[in-house]
A and B are shown apart, each in its own frame.
Chain A
Amino acid sequence: MPPDAESSAPFAGELFLTLAAEGRLVVDPVRADQAIAGLERTLSLIRARLRILRIWQHSPPQRVDELPDELANDVVDAMFADQLAPGRLEQAVTELPKYIEALRRARGRRPGDRAEIDGQSIL
């Protein structure tokens, strides 16, 4: 697939929910479970990162070098990433649960529901 015009992939949680609700998205249970586990892990990491950002933003003015090593690195990473793509983490926290829900709905439908198209992908 050629690189997107945008630097980041767009979120499409609503689309996935629609596809699952209409029965157009059918995912093999094993692959669905793997994807759901990955999304849940990502969501938990993002929530942790957002907590760090909020704590830092709401605490009294302080210097990064006064923080413990571990926290300092996380704060610097979080602040920098938030400046590069403001609101991206918040958006992810809203969107990723939609993907998880869609995959749960799309998981394990009857195999007979699935079409066999050998359309060669050009992606």
Chain B
Amino acid sequence: MEQVRVALQASDPLSQAGIASYLQSRPELTLLRSSERAEAKVLVVSCDRLTSDVVAMLRRSAAEIGSPVVLITNEITESELLTAVECRVVAILPRVAVTAERLVHSVLTAAKGGGVMPPNLVGELLKHIERLQRDVLTPNGLNASGLTPREIDVLRLMADGLDTNEIAGELCYSERTVKNVIYGVTHRLKLRNRSHAVAYALRAGMI
């Protein structure tokens, strides 16, 4: 079996020594000296946080070597995650939970995957997309369901069987406002009537 050539960069000597011993203990891996780093199939980086120095090193490495990176770190924010992904990080391992087995498995899979992001990282990117939409919509009184909070309130009460007058009383609106809200939502979503609107909202998990 061909050995996977691995380069290691840790932010402190103790981590460097510890992780190196993990990697060297496995016959399927070859730990490269720092002078051989350009030949690495996978780069393992260990740091407390993604500081600007670490990011600069990752960017350099992505540009010069382009190998997938297994990152071991304590915590990471959403914007740091995006930066890490940009720098070819394909696996993020929490420092407290990293074991020799998990690290080796991640390194081997990174070598095999050739830089394609694994499902858990893709999942985090999809969460970023959801969060982004919420951040834009919420301050505008909107949400991703396509309904305003007021429309959701009215539809919920309609689903509870309340008529226009009762909904107006419950929400302290005029009957005209309630009718406008119902007209607006049925017209916009091309729904036939009130029952259709309630059914649509329930089915779509909006209320």
Contact = CB atoms under 8 A, between A and B. Distances in A.
Contacts of B181: 70
26 contacts: A4-B78, A5-B77, A5-B79, A10-B82, A24-B90, A35-B126, A42-B133, A45-B137, A45-B140, A69-B174, A69-B177, A99-B129, A115-B109, A116-B118, A117-B90, A118-B102, A118-B105, A118-B120, A119-B92, A119-B93, A119-B118, A119-B121, A120-B102, A121-B121, A121-B123, A122-B97
B166 interface: no
- Residue from A49, A116, A117 having most chain B Cβ neighbours under 10 A: A117
B188 to A, nearest CB: 9
B156 interface: no
Main secondary structure of the interface of B (DSSP, over half): helix
A96 B130 CA distance: 11
B13 interface: no
Interface string A18-61: 11001111111001000100110110111001000000000000
Given A12-B128, A38-B144, A117-B120, A122 B184 contact: no
Contacts of B113: 114-117
Contacts of A80: 139
- Residue from B70, B122, B176 having most chain A Cβ neighbours under 10 A: B122
Given A78-B140, A114-B119, A38 B109 contact: no
Interface string B78-112: 11011001101011111001000010011001101
A88 B140 CA distance: 11
Contact of B180 (A45, A69, A116): A69
Given A46-B136, A84-B139, 14 more contacts: A3-B77, A9-B78, A35-B126, A70-B180, A70-B181, A77-B140, A81-B140, A88-B136, A116-B119, A119-B90, A119-B118, A120-B120, A121-B124, A122-B75
B118 A42 contact: no
A24 B139 CA distance: 33
A31 B125 CA distance: 12
Contact of B144 (A11, A22, A26, A41): A41
A16 B125 contact: yes
B49 to A, nearest CB: 11
A70 to B, nearest CB: 5
Interface residues of A, number: 59
B132 interface: yes
- Residue from B124, B132, B174 having most chain A Cβ neighbours under 10 A: B132
A4 B109 contact: no
Nearest to B133: A42
B131 interface: yes
B186 to A, nearest CB: 14
A120 B124 contact: no
Given A11-B132, A42-B136, A42-B144, A115 B77 contact: no
